[in-house]
Amino acid sequence: MSQKYLMKGNEALAEAAIRAHCRHFFGYPITPQTEVAAYMAKRMPKIGGTYLQAESEVAAINMVLGAASAGARAMTSSSSPGISLKTEGISYIAASDLPALIINVMRGGPGLGGIQPSQSDYWQATRAPGHGDAQLLVYAPSSVQEMVDLVIRAFETGEKYRCPAMLLADGMLGQMMEPVSFPDEIALPASKPWALTGTGEKRRPNIINSLYLTPSQLEEIVRKRFERYELIKQNEVLWDSYRLEDAEYMVVAYGATARICKAAVEIAREMGVKAGLFRPVTLWPYPTSQLAECAKKVSRILCVEMSMGQMVDDVRLAVNGTCPVSFYGRTGGIVPTPEEIAQQITALAAAKA
Amino acid sequence: MAVIFQKTKGLTDCETHYCPGCTHGIVHRLVAECLEELGVLGKTVGVCPVGCAVMAYDYFNCDMVEAPHGRAPAVATGIKRVQPGNVVFTYQGDGDLAAIGTAETIHAATRGENITVIFINNAIYGMTGGQMAPTTLPGQVTQTTPYGRDTGYSGFPVKVCELLQNVDGVAFAERTAVNTVAHIRQAKAAIKKAFTCQLEGRGFSIVEVLSTCPTNWGMTPVEALGWVEEKMIPYYPLGNFADRDVHRKPEGENV
């Protein structure tokens, strides 16, 4: 863990995946995630791995489906419009109970949008990562080091519960450079007796499938999957806080926005407003009860996002009316400054006074 | 008592859901017999399409995965890249392969992906009840071409083997039929050759099989077999379209 490297977020997450024993990457170029693919293209051939540039995001996610069904630790990466194309495959991967890692380095939307940082795919990641009743594990790093740590965790947790995981980053995290270190040793993936490896004519065929034409059977399969989702909600929630101990005003933010909010909390405190930060690290499962608990100790909540207000839905659901929740967002690829956020916090305090 | 004939080990005992007179059953058996005869059943992974063969995972006696509509060649690519030593095949219909999955088909072919594609061309969407397929013949009546396919309006059928013939990554492409005993024997030889091609690491192999759909064609099984001979074969001539080594680097050389 000692050696430090100065790395771009996109490259650090790719290196983390390799160190986490991922040897199969399928991608398609799109800004601002392209460094992930470029890094994989350079590294994979040197270590006996596969980097394959697919003909589309649709094909890439289906190659991941194939590789995952063959038992490999497989991944793909893209940015917002590309993720929309992958949602078909993500639904099938979830429905086939396959683990896989999908990286979304978010950019401004909707449509072709822009190529600057954004957080406007929160709804897509947490509400409708594809058609049907299904969820993705969603991890939201807020530093380059966390991109490393959460990639490793996403692989391991996805395999534990046999479900796909997403690293929901943004163009700012992907493009920025910070010092990072990597764990000395990462456990090898556990054996996968369900994988399609060929029967060797020694066992019954393994079948990986998402079709159940009998409604009662399909309902049973979906319900069983949701029992696993309940376990995930109990065991896999991650969150962080900053200066919440004595805070009167709680800012809730994730990803790159959270680090800007940290600076905003400092500015607000210098101006005499006791602010603190609650930062969800997993967006699904959402730290609902933890946020509700913290909300009891503050008088106002401000949710800040690089979107028109998406995670704020989950904040309001968690708080459930016990504390007023305001929202401040920039969108289209505009990154808010600490000063403008601090101004929002102090305005809340002024309104209350 | 001597056993002179038995069902191939390549198929399970599961009853198929195919309509009476449909030739999917024949093609399943040919594929399964080839896998058994080549001794590769234990190291084969099959990929099912969306369409009439969607439940083929219950019929083939090897590891199987269900792909989204048209994506079977991409799924097969993922499997093959993880397990280059295994035999990987897709079993796809005309809508799956030549409409929604055109890109996946052509690009798996351009990569010379070392997989085998079994392509069932019955000129119609069977599973959804008989709509126009990319391979529906000019003038052919379907549910969505009720006045016959007007090529000036709905365009022309896709000739898959002719298209793939010009793709450098294609090692083997052959169009066959299963409407007569002679054609069935030729089809089996082609399927075996396609799998052999994969075992030799020669590149992408595809066998197109002209197949019947009596239910949606509105014919008896016997009439349907005749329709293949009279209407389909003249438009989709049988024969070999590619048989070559695409000179891929051996698996692993690049890594």
B-chain residue closest to A91, CA distance: B68
Are A231 and A324 within one domain?
Answer: no
CA distance A228 to A246: 37
Residues 40-79 of B with CB under 8 A from A: 41-45, 47-48, 54-55, 57-58, 60-68, 71, 74-79
Record: contact A59-B71, CB cut-off 8 A: yes
- Give yes or no for residue B253 having a pLDDT over 90: no
Mutate one of A86, A207, A221 to test the B interface: name it (highest B CB count within 10 A).
A207
Are A250 and A292 within one domain?
Answer: yes
Question: Which pLDDT does position A351 carry in this prediction?
Answer: 87
pLDDT digits (tens, 9 = 90+) for B41-89: 999 999 999 999 999 999 999 999 999 999 999 999 999 999 999 999 9
- Give the three-state DSSP class for A197: coil
- Give yes or no for residue B125 having a pLDDT over 70: yes
Q: Indicate the average pLDDT of chain A.
A: 97
Question: Which pLDDT does position B249 carry in this prediction?
Answer: 57
Using pLDDT thresholds of 50, 70 and 90, give the confidence band for residue B255.
very low
- Fold classification of B24-243 is Rossmann fold (3.40.50)
Indicate whether A203 belongs to any domain: no
CA distance A306 to A85: 22
Give CA angle at A28 (A25, A32), nearest 5°.
105
Between strands B87-93 and A50-53, the pairing is: unpaired
Are A135 and A92 within one domain?
Answer: yes
CA distance A180 to A146: 9
Are A172 and A292 within one domain?
Answer: no
Are A256 and A156 within one domain?
Answer: no
Are A286 and A194 within one domain?
Answer: no
Question: Which pLDDT does position B1 carry in this prediction?
Answer: 81
- Give the three-state DSSP class for B35: helix
* DSSP states of A133-192: S---EEE---SHHHHHHHHHHHHHHHHHHT--EEEEEEHHHHH-EEEE---S--PPPPP-
CA distance A166 to A153: 11
Are A190 and A124 within one domain?
Answer: yes
Are A104 and A248 within one domain?
Answer: no
Cβ proximity of A172 and A335 under 8 Å:
yes
Indicate whether A208 belongs to any domain: no
Are A248 and A182 within one domain?
Answer: no
For A139-161, what is the mean pLDDT? Answer: 98
Are A174 and A257 within one domain?
Answer: no
Cβ proximity of A195 and A69 under 8 Å:
yes
% of chain B surpassing 70 pLDDT = 96
* Structure-block tokens of residue B212: 């019947």
Question: Which pLDDT does position A218 carry in this prediction?
Answer: 98
pLDDT digits (tens, 9 = 90+) for A12-32: 999 999 999 999 999 999 999
Which range marks the domain in which residue A252 is found? 240-352
Are A38 and A150 within one domain?
Answer: yes
Give CA angle at B232 (B104, B53), nearest 5°.
45
Instruction: Find the CB nearest B103 among A52, A55, A199.
Output: A55
Are A227 and A278 within one domain?
Answer: no
**Structure ipTM:** 0.96
Mutate one of B9, B13, B45 to test the A interface: name it (highest A CB count within 10 A).
B45
Instruction: Find the CB nearest B63 among A24, A48, A199.
Output: A199
* Structure-block tokens of residue B63: 């590891």
- Give yes or no for residue A138 having a pLDDT over 90: yes
Cβ proximity of A290 and A237 under 8 Å:
yes
For B93-110, what is the mean pLDDT? Answer: 98
Residues 3-32 of A with CB under 8 A from B: 24, 26
